[in-house]
Chain A
Amino acid sequence: MAGTKHSGLEGKKLIVLGERDGIPAQTIEQALENLGAEVVYSTTQCFV
């Protein structure tokens, strides 16, 4: 059970800027969950 490790992200407010042709924001959020940071804005941009 993880969760107590000091991540360095505690208390941070995160803006996640994903890209459809790169890494979607949802995947980044998945990686950063349970690290003590709060995602305040998340979007996956699409440039065509």
Chain B
Amino acid sequence: MDLEVQGRIKELAESLGRANLMVVLGAPNVDSSLIQFETVTRGDPTYSGPLAGVELGLDTYHIFEPVMKAVVDAEKYEELFGTLELALEGETIVQALREARGAPAQ
């Protein structure tokens, strides 16, 4: 994740508090999703940015995850993400993030 982006997220977490802050990801694949998830929850895994060693523990979801799908109007969701979800293998991203949170594989 860009160092500048990490810096902004760190500032926001400090100024707004972590409790109400939530991160929504639109990454195109498993690797990118996992790196971003890791960075805003457990700290920058590359140890190169402002979030190195900083465990923000922010609520973080990919837009393909059921919890996000549930809050968006179904028709709108299909229109915006239906094709992308298939093309980007959304289910593998969802599964990888589920495992990253410590849930058993399905």
Chain A positions within 8 Å of B, measured between CB atoms, are 2, 7-9, 11-19, 21-25, 27-28, 30-32, 35, 37, 40-41, 43-45, 47
**Residue pair B32, A15 in contact (C-beta under 8 Å):** no
**Residue pair A17, B71 in contact (C-beta under 8 Å):** no
- Where chain B touches its partner, the secondary structure class is mixed
A residues less than 8 Å from B70 (CB atoms): 8
**Residue pair B73, A22 in contact (C-beta under 8 Å):** no
CB distance from B3 to the nearest CB of A (A): 12
- Where chain A touches its partner, the secondary structure class is mixed
**Residue pair A14, B26 in contact (C-beta under 8 Å):** no
Count the A-B residue pairs with Cβ separation under 8 angstroms: how many?
93
16 CB < 8 A contacts A-B:
A12-B22, A13-B21, A17-B23, A17-B27, A17-B36, A18-B26, A22-B28, A22-B88, A23-B81, A27-B81, A28-B24, A31-B72, A31-B80, A35-B72, A40-B16, A45-B2
Chain B positions within 8 Å of A, measured between CB atoms, are 1-2, 5, 8-9, 12, 16, 20-29, 32, 36, 40, 58, 63, 70-73, 76-77, 80-81, 84, 88
